[in-house]
Amino acid sequence: MNRIVIFLAAIACTVAPLQASDWRQFRGPLSNGVSDETALPISFDASKSIAWKVNLPGRGLSSPIIVGGRVFVTCSSGPKQQRLHVICLNAADGSQRWERQFWATGRTMCHEKTSVAAPTPASDGERVFAIFSSNDIVCLDLDGNLVWVRGLGRDYPNASNSLGMSSSLVTADGVVIAQVENDSESFSAGLDALTGVNRWKLDRPRMANWTSPVLLKTSDGKQLAILQSGKGISAVEPATGKTVWEYGDGASTVPSSTPDGARLFVPSHGITVLEPGASGEAPKQLWRSAQLRPGTPSATILGQKVFALNDGGVLTCGDATSGQRLWQLRLKGPFSSTPVGAGAYLYCVNEKGLAQVVDTFKPEGEIISELDLGDTILSTPSISGGAIYFRSDKQLWKVGKS
C-alpha cells in the first residue's frame, strides 16, 4: 500500500497539471496548432498589438513554448552555430529570468535556410527538454537548474543529416520521445524524463525525415506516440516503444501528422485520416483527399474544418469529417510555418514576417488583419495567455494582451 502511495506521489511530482494557458510543445497542447483561448487579438495594429519584443542571441526556427507564465526559447550562435542557448523569459514583460548555454557535441552543419535551433522544445510542466539539430538534448527545470544532458550525435556518430534535423520533442508517461531519423544511423528513442538514459531505442527507416512525433489519445484513454516517416506511421507506446499499430502507405517527410481527438490526419497522398480501433487494432481509414495537400506547414484542424497550406500560400479548407474541399484562399506567401488558430481564426505568418489573420467562418475565408513584423519568419507561432508569440532569427514578439 505504502509503495502505491509513494508511486502515485512520484507521478504527481513529475508531471505538473497543464495550466490553461500553457503551450508546452510544437503546435500546442494537442499538437494540432489549436488553442481553446477566446481572448486572442483578431485585429492587429502595429503600434498597439505588440506587447513586447526582445532580441535573441542567436538563430532559430524553433517555436517558443510557454509554461506557467514563462516563455522558453532556443537559439544557436557562433561561427558554426555550435553554441546552443536555452532562454527563459517572463511572459508578462519579456524580461529574462535565465539563460543557459551548451556546446554542441554533434554535427551542426545544415542548410542555410534552417538552423541548429530548428526543433521545438517540450515540457512536462516541471522540466524543459530542448533538442537541437546537432542531436544534443538538454533537460532543465523551470528555474534553469540542469537536470541532464545527452549528445545523441556523439553517442551515435552517424545520426545526422547534412541538411539539418528539425524533429521536435514530445513527452508522455515519463519519457521524452525524439525522432533522430536520417539516411544513415536512423532511430527514434524514448529517454527517461528524469535521467535522460534510453528507456527504448527503435531502428527506423533509413531516410531523411524532418517530421515531429505527436501524441494521439486512443478511445480507451491511453496515449500513443505517433512516429511518421516516408514509409508511413508507427504508433508506439511512449513508455516502452512497443509498436501498437502501423500504417504503411507512405507519408510525407516534411509536414507532420495532426491529431484531432482519436483521429489522426496524416500527410499521406494529400491527407489521409486514420482512426485507430481498440488497442493493437489496425487503424481504419476514414477518408483520403488529394485535394488537401499541405506543403511545408502541417495541417491544422479548427472545429469541423481541416486546413492545408502550401508553400506558395494557397490555404485550402476542407470538411474534417468527409475531406470534401470547401474553399481556397490565397494568402501572401511563401510559407514555412504552420498556421495556429483559435475559435474561428487562423494565424498564419509568411517567410517575410507578415502575420495574417484568417476568418475561417467567412464563406470563402478572408484575411481580416495583417501585421508586418519585418523579419524572416520560418517558425510556427505559439499561443498563450491571450497572445500569439512569433520568433525570427533575431527577435521574439508577443502580440496581444500585455
Partner 1 sequence: MKQKILLYLTIAGWLIPADTRSAPASGLSEPIQIIRAVGSEGRGNDEATRVWKQLAGADASQLIEILSALDGANDFAANWLRSAVDAIAARETAAHRALSLADLGKFLLDTRHEPRARRLVFELIARADATAAEKLLPGMLNDPSLELRHDAVQKVIDQAAQLFEAGNKPGATLLYQQSLAFARDVDQVDLVAKKLKDLGQPVDLPKHFGFLTQWKVIGPFDNAGAKNFDTAFPPENKIDLAAEYDGKSGKVRWQDFTTKHNYGMVDMNQPCGKLKGVLSYAYTEFFSDKAQPVELRLGGKNSWKVWLNGKFLFGRDEYHRNAEIDQYRMPATLQGGRNTILVKVCQNEQTEDWTVEWEFQLRVTDSLGTPIFSNPDATRQTALNR
Beta carbon nearer to partner 1, 105 or 310: 105
Q: What pairs with residue 369 in β-bridges?
A: 357
Nearer to partner 1 (CB atom), residue 113 or residue 284:
113
Cβ neighbours for 79, distance < 8 A, ≥ 6 positions apart: none
Nearer to partner 1 (CB atom), residue 80 or residue 362: 80
Nearest to partner 1 of 24, 150 (CB atom): 150
List the grid coordinates of 298.
502541417
Q: 42 or 163: whose CB is closer to partner 1?
A: 163
Residue 388, CA distances (Å) to 14, 34, 41, 186, 234 in order: 28, 12, 8, 35, 32
CB of 79 to partner 1, least distance (A): 5
Residues contributing to the site for partner 1 (CB under 8 A): 78-80, 97-103, 105, 107, 109-111, 136, 138, 143-151, 154-155, 157-158, 161-163, 182-184, 191-192, 194-198, 206, 208
- DSSP one-letter code for 303: T
Whichever of 146 and 290 has its CB closer to partner 1, that residue is 146
CB atoms within 10 A of CB 52: 17
| Residue 101 dihedral angles phi and psi, to the nearest 5° | -120, 150
CB 262 to partner 1: min, Å: 34
Residue 375: is it exposed, middle or buried by C-beta count within 10 angstroms (0-12/13-18/19+)? middle
We find the least distance from the C-beta atom of residue 249 to partner 1, in angstroms, to be 23
Grid cell for residue 307: 486546413
* Residue 282 contacts residue 236 (beta carbons within 8 Å): no
Q: State whether residue 262 is helix, strand or coil.
A: coil
Residue 315 burial by Cβ neighbours in a 10 Å radius (0-12, 13-18, 19+) = buried
Min dist. Cβ of residue 104 to partner 1 (A): 9
Q: How far is the CB of 181 from partner 1 (least distance, A)?
A: 12
Burial class (CB in 10 A: 0-12, 13-18, 19+), 137: buried
3 state DSSP class of 154? helix
Name the minimum Å distance from CB 258 to partner 1.
27
Closer residue to partner 1 in complex, CB, 136/260 = 136
Closest approach, Cβ 147 to partner 1, in A, equals 5
d(C-alpha 122, C-alpha 24), whole Å: 6
3-state secondary structure of 61: coil
Q: Which lies closer to partner 1 via its Cβ, residue 57 or residue 334?
A: 57
CA distances from 272 to 165, 279, 319, 322 (A): 25, 20, 13, 11
Residue carrying C-alpha cell 504503411:
248
Q: Are 307 and 339 in contact (CB under 8 A)?
A: yes
The distance of closest approach from Cβ of residue 115 to partner 1 in the complex, given in angstroms and rounded to an integer, is: 14
Min dist. Cβ of residue 336 to partner 1 (A): 18
The distance of closest approach from Cβ of residue 200 to partner 1 in the complex, given in angstroms and rounded to an integer, is 13
Q: Which is nearer to partner 1, 138 or 264 (CB)?
A: 138
CA pair distance 338, 353, nearest whole angstrom: 13
Tell me whether residue 27 or residue 150 sits nearer to partner 1 (CB atom): 150
